[in-house]
Amino acid sequence: MPSDPVEMLLSIGLRAPQPTIKALIAEATKARWSPAQCFEKLAALERRERDACNLARRTRSATIGPFTSIDRFDWNHPRRIDRSLCEMLAGDLGFLQTGHNILFRGQSGAGKTMLAQNLALAALAAGHRVRFVSLAAALADLLRQESLPAFERRLRRYTNPDLLILDELGYVPADSRGADILYNIITRRHLCRSTIITTNLAFKDWATVFPSASCVGALVDRFVERCHFIDIDADSWRQKTSLEAIGIPPRKR
């Protein structure tokens, strides 16, 4: 059995890094903390470490992927965006308690995915279960299931999270089976769990993604019943930065 106090603490399962524990012991010795103070500080340290590990694990499970932090979003770039609504939704996350949905709509490169990813991170930090996935990947995943029991088990991956983000509706066409699956997901989450969809299409054009599907109208109807709409009118930020990198000035608005 280890005799070093740091090794003893690590051997019973403390997750805080060894250097951090050593620094805490040194500070306690120098400041002559009481035993109660030592235990309080150690417990707080371990709680922070466990919360950080838990957040990291849930973030990996959410599959958000790499993205740009919201503090680097140029609010002056879009010609039109409801900034106050974006900040309100991210600030209190009240839409998650009420099961409200969010639609980000705009052309490619306008910032829809980035804003959705930042909402996902805020929800994770608040302790919510989150899954981020492109609509095409979600449908492909579910269509690969070879039996109804397997399909139902995999469907829970998309129906159970507190926040589901389906990215890029409209970029890849799907068949009527895909429409039925998306309708199934939205219906099971309806009024109880929040869903975010990013798209470049108006609602009237969703039928072009699912040709010959009969459930598109009902799908839209359920999704919009409690929904915040954020339309972004902007040129592609990626194209803008690429042109600036080679010395071509942006077009005047």
Most confident by average pLDDT, 8-17, 32-41, 237-246: 32-41
57-66, 191-200, 231-240: which range is least confident on average? 231-240
Average pLDDT of the segment spanning 159-175: 95
Domains in the chain: boundaries:
5-62, 70-245
Residue 67's pLDDT is: 86
Q: Which structure tokens are listed for 49? A: 């470490």
145-154, 215-224, 235-244: which range is least confident on average? 235-244
**Band of residue 14 on the pLDDT scale cut at 50, 70, 90:** confident
Percent of the chain with pLDDT over 90: 70
Average pLDDT of the segment spanning 140-167: 96
Structure confidence by residue, pLDDT tens digits, 118-127: 999 999 999 9
Alpha-carbon distance 74 to 110, whole Å? 11
Task: Classify residue 219 by burial, with Cβ atoms within 10 Å: 0-12, 13-18, 19+.
Answer: buried
**Band of residue 236 on the pLDDT scale cut at 50, 70, 90:** confident
Q: Tokens 């799908």 map to which residue?
A: 219
Do the Cβ atoms of 186 and 99 come closer than 8 Å?
Answer: no
Do the Cβ atoms of 95 and 228 come closer than 8 Å?
Answer: yes
Percent of the chain with pLDDT over 70: 92
Average pLDDT of the segment spanning 60-68: 89
Average pLDDT of the segment spanning 34-41: 92
AA letter at 15: R
Nearest to 236 by CA among 68, 105, 78: 78
Residue 248's pLDDT is: 62
Structure confidence by residue, pLDDT tens digits, 176-230: 999 999 999 999 999 999 999 999 999 999 999 998 888 999 999 999 999 999 9
> Could you say which architecture CATH assigns to the domain 70-245?
3-Layer(aba) Sandwich (3.40)
Tell me what the pLDDT averaged over the chain comes to.
Answer: 91
Average pLDDT of the segment spanning 27-35: 92
Structure confidence by residue, pLDDT tens digits, 96-145: 999 999 999 999 989 999 999 999 999 999 999 999 999 999 999 999 99
What is the Cα 2 distance to its own chain's centre?
43
